[in-house]
Amino acid sequence: MEPFQITRKELVRLFASPRLVQRMVKAQWITAVQKGRPGTPALFDMDSAKNAYARLLAGETPPLLDCEKLRSKQ
């Protein structure tokens, strides 16, 4: 049985922040099930998104993206 899948657009709607979703995907809190191709969105595992939400509620934060680290140093 395949896991429930969700697109990045739906993740952004759920978490209300494209940057937060980007951080969680890069930190591998949210697992990609299928990489996107031109005209086809990437798909992510819904259970990993639920686990990421639980981590946020527990007070964890995903690491900053490289571009955010550079900005904070300036």
40-63 residue pLDDT tens: 899 999 999 999 999 999 999 999
The span from the CA of 4 to the CA of 44, in Å, is: 8
Given a cut of 80, is residue 31 above it in pLDDT? yes
The total of structural domains in the chain comes to: 1
Grade residue 74 by pLDDT with cuts at 50, 70 and 90. Answer: low
Instruction: Tell me the residue range of the domain where 30 lies.
Output: 5-73
